[in-house]
Amino acid sequence: MKNYRFISISGTGRSGTNITKDILSKHPDVGTLPFEHRFTIDPKGLVDTFNTLRFTWSPYVVDYKINELENFLKLIGKRKFWRYQLGQLIKWLNRYGLNITPPAYYAWELSKWFPDYFEMVEKLIQQLTDFKYRATWPGAAPFNQNNQMRFVSYEKNLANIFGRFIQNLYQSFLKAHNKTHFVEDNTWSILFGPELFTMLPQIRFIHVLRDPRDVVVSFLNQKWTPNELDQCIDYYISIISKIIENKKKIPAENILEIRLEQLVEEPEKIMGQVCKFCDLDYMDDLLKIDLSKSNKGRWKLELDVNEQQRLNNKLKNYIDLFGY
């Protein structure tokens, strides 16, 4: 029986998670997806549902959240033709500055990557649901005749159920591709590290750290972040503060921290550490990749003197903490 490994590469965003995954993806034992699957950490996903059922339990809440989770997992499981075409059209229009939000997850199709995806989703919902009963409440979905509500007991061991679902999905992908290590790079997974570890104790996190000033300046050019300097600084501080807090809640043997700058300057040494942490044999072929575009020190090039001073002043605690 193969010993499967699950590795999550995470950071603040714009810290080097993508390039780290790209390097590991060259290993013959590693399986990766060409996108962030998002079903674990996004709103309406597994962690959101897990936390809500634990901390804000009520019969109405559990019915609402299980229905919401089922609809979300089905939405990202299969593309609908019209939604995908509309999303592509909006993507094209946005090149001309329209800035229209496309249909949610219009390009996602997890059933293409995870064998038996919909069967596993159905099994998950069945395992979460203790029973159904005919009833309604003011927030129930409209126009249902003889509406059925789902019940999930307050004492239910949710972590095991969600953990088995994640494990079975990852293993189905690995078996289909004859791999042993599933590596994903949902950028903010470490923001939910304690919950993911509770569900999946064998998960290992690689936290990719980068000079906070370079991260903030990189934020300025992203569609998913603020585009004003002081707002980006506050955005970064909140994210990194949560990461620092969460790292204390994850066993040391389950987390490895690397720095993007060291990865670029000493790739053999850092990737040797990464491979050891992941129980992989190091291979020289991993580094047949361009590491010259890390933009080290971009904050000095893209900000004026006053902006640099604001940046350094507001980030001083983190610059000192991380030794930058």
**By C-alpha distance, which of 74, 103, 68 is closest to 86?**
103
Are the C-beta atoms of 229 and 307 separated by less than 8 Å? yes
Mean pLDDT to the nearest integer, 195-200: 98
User: What DSSP character marks residue 223?
Assistant: T
In the predicted model, is pLDDT for residue 192 greater than 90? Answer: yes
Could you tell me the pLDDT band of residue 223, with boundaries at 50, 70 and 90?
very high
Please state the pTM of the whole predicted model. 0.96
Q: Give the pLDDT confidence of 62-74 residue by residue, as tens digits.
A: 999 999 999 999 9
The pLDDT tens digits for 227-243 are: 999 999 999 999 999 99
Cα torsion angle, 142, 144, 147, 151, sign: negative
**How many CA atoms are closer than 13 Å to the CA of 145, on its beta-carbon side?**
0
What pLDDT sits at residue 163? 98
Helix axes 229-247, 212-219, angle to 10 degrees: 130
Query: Residue 292 — very low, low, confident or very high, per pLDDT cuts 50/70/90?
Result: confident
Concatenating the DSSP letter of every residue in 13-80 gives SSSSHHHHHHHHTTSTTEE--SS---TTTSTTSHHHHHHHHHHS--HHHHHHHHHHHHHHHHHTTS--
Averaged over 136-153, what is the pLDDT?
94
Query: Which helix (H) or strand (E) covers residue 6, if one does?
Result: strand 5-10
Q: What whole-number percentage of the chain has pLDDT above 70?
A: 100
Tell me the mean pLDDT in the region 294-303. Answer: 94
294: pLDDT confidence band, cut at 50, 70 and 90?
Answer: confident
Model confidence at 1, pLDDT cuts 50, 70, 90, reads low
For the chain, the average pLDDT equals 97
What is the mean predicted confidence (pLDDT) over 166-178? 97
Question: Over 90: is that where the pLDDT of 293 sits?
Answer: no
Q: Please check the confidence at residue 54 and state whether its pLDDT lies above 80.
A: yes
Q: Which residue has the tokens 């980030």?
A: 315
Q: Coil, helix or strand for 111? A: helix
